[in-house]
Amino acid sequence: MDDSLLSLLRFGPQGWGDELLAGVRITLLLALATAPIGLVGGFLLALARRSQSARLRVPATIFTTVFKGLPELITLFIVYYGLSMLLSALLSLVSDVYVEVSSFLAGMIALGAVSASFASEVFLGAFAGIPKGQIEGAEALGLSRYARMRKVVLPQLLRLALPGLGNLWLVLLKDTALVSVIALPDLLRRTFVAVGATKEPFFFFFVAILIYFAMSLVSSVILGFLEARYSRGYAGR
Amino acid sequence: MSEFLPPILARYGDDLLDGFWITLQLVGLSIGFGIVLASLSTRARLSKRWWLRWLSAIYINLFRGTPLIAQLFLIYYGLGQFSGLWRTLNLWWFLRDPFNCAVLAFTLNTAAYQAEIFRGAVEAVPRGQWEGASALGLPRHIGFLKVIVPQAAIYALRPFGNEIILMVKGSAVASVVTVYDLLGETRLAFSDTFRFDVYFYAAALYLVLVETLRRVWNLLEARLTRHLDPASKQRMRRRKESVLEPVAS
């Protein structure tokens, strides 16, 4: 019994091993493509939320409140159906095609907006952790606004933000599973297909969970290394 | 009344509210059962027996390190595979219902997160408090209940509130296994009418719920920490962050 179950994971036409691996690739690709959006978007949102000007501060605060509060799944549906309908409506002015946004792109936009919102929170916390004297010192040295940010604030900011950003990466990796609901052929979706063909749901979903767990473990080991490296100037404090 | 509403709300408003009520039930039941399971799991995590510590650590990390939707599929589809066994055990009436499966999956998931919160909070209480309790001659479990828990509660409050909010958001995946919660009803209304704005009304309901929870929690925290001066509140908040920064995976 056990032997025949494991043989379902073989690579090649009989087994599902290669299909699942292809799913892992899509899952990782989506997470890796979304992470930079979250990182850069989160930093810009944090800058906007700290800004003196209400024209920047208010929209950025509303954006983060909305995308932090909404279930990721509803955000995903809104982006997926909403964008398709919007683009179709715009294109219908010139021709009569119906376009559908790919589930990968919809996932990237939706999860990107969510991670950017949470990342802005992490960056705000990190900004607050930089001692005032550092900025005053940079001003006293006559550094320009840009040099102050680039040479003094950012290096310290990244160290302070790294643990929080690492957690967001782990959250993002898990959230990619939601995109399987709009038919992205990621790990979970392919597991579903395998279940449909083999009628072995418990075995396959358990295997999928173990694979997700392995990805989380590897990520946290790498993040541990990164954190150690970024705080190597601060040992013992 | 209904003629003042947008047509889609006049027709589907009641359904959305029914779904909202199901969402509240999902979250309330899971958080409630989750507290019990998390307390047991924390107890095991802080136990002197190594195998209890191990078991609880594996459970906590496995459920925190994998997607909730995959856990739900494992329970709903995976356990359904053994329906014969559940029938002989007389449990099939429970597992047959997607609502029950969702509550089971969410309970297991939130308990893992809660256990990690509780552990961090207990460990944040200074050792001297344990020593003080035992110096007063209090038995260990009384000292834990009367001395440690009230102080740990303050540390746990904010992350616990965040966990409830995460559960509200996470509960939306129940709609994928045909539970008609708020998102489930919304998807139904959308597939009936192809009117996209129904998603915005559902989104507004979710936001109201989350924002209300957040504000109630701020009040609760202000109440529980009213004996602390502003400087030590600041210290606690910082401490809370460093202690309860969710550990990777």
CATH label of the domain that carries residue A82: 1.10.3720.10
B204 touches A78 (CB < 8 A):
no
Q: Do A208 and B70 touch (CB under 8 A)?
A: yes
Amino acid B136 reads: L
The answer, yes or no, to whether residue B21 has pLDDT greater than 70, is yes
Confidence of residue B9 (pLDDT cuts 50, 70, 90): confident
Placement of tokens 């559902």 in the chain: B202
Domain count of chain A? 1
Contacts of B73 in chain A (CB under 8 A): 188, 191-192, 201, 205
Cα A147 to the center of its chain, rounded Å: 29
Distance CA B177, CA A86 (A): 28
- The whole domain housing A9 covers 2-234
State residue A122's pLDDT score.
94
State residue A104's pLDDT score.
93
What is the least distance, in Å, from the CA of B136 to any CA of chain A?
35
Burial class (CB within 10 angstroms; exposed 0-12, middle 13-18, buried 19+) of B186: buried
Contacts of A30 in chain B (CB under 8 A): none
Best to test chain A binding among B85, B169, B171, B191 (most A CBs inside 10 Å): B169
Tokens at residue B240, please? Answer: 């809370």
Distance CA A38, CA A107 (A): 12
Amino acid A123 reads: F
DSSP code at position A53: -
Distance CA A172, CA A176 (A): 6
Exposure of A218 in the CB half-sphere (CA atoms within 13 A): 8
Q: To the nearest 5 percent, what fractions of chain A are helix, strand and coil?
A: 80, 0, 20
For a pLDDT cut of 70, what percent of chain A falls above it? 97
Tokens at residue A81, please? Answer: 């159906």
Contacts of A175 in chain B (CB under 8 A): 67
Tell me the pTM.
0.90
For a pLDDT cut of 90, what percent of chain A falls above it? 57
CATH assignment of B2-244, among 3.50.50.60, 1.10.287.130, 1.10.10.60, 1.10.3720.10: 1.10.3720.10
A36 touches A111 (CB < 8 A):
no
Distance CA B161, CA A95 (A): 50
Tokens at residue A111, please? Answer: 């999860």
Domain residue spans in chain B?
2-244
State residue B246's pLDDT score.
41
Q: Which residue of B has its CA nearest to A201?
A: B78
Averaged over B236-248, what is the pLDDT? 47
SS3 state of residue B172? helix
Placement of tokens 């957040």 in the chain: B214
Distance CA B44, CA B51 (A): 9
Averaged over B57-77, what is the pLDDT? 95
Contacts of B109 in chain A (CB under 8 A): none
Distance CA A181, CA A63 (A): 24
Best to test chain B binding among A202, A211, A231 (most B CBs inside 10 Å): A202
State residue B1's pLDDT score.
54
The answer, yes or no, to whether residue B12 has pLDDT greater than 90, is no
B20 touches B13 (CB < 8 A):
no
Distance CA B157, CA A121 (A): 19
Placement of tokens 């995590």 in the chain: B45
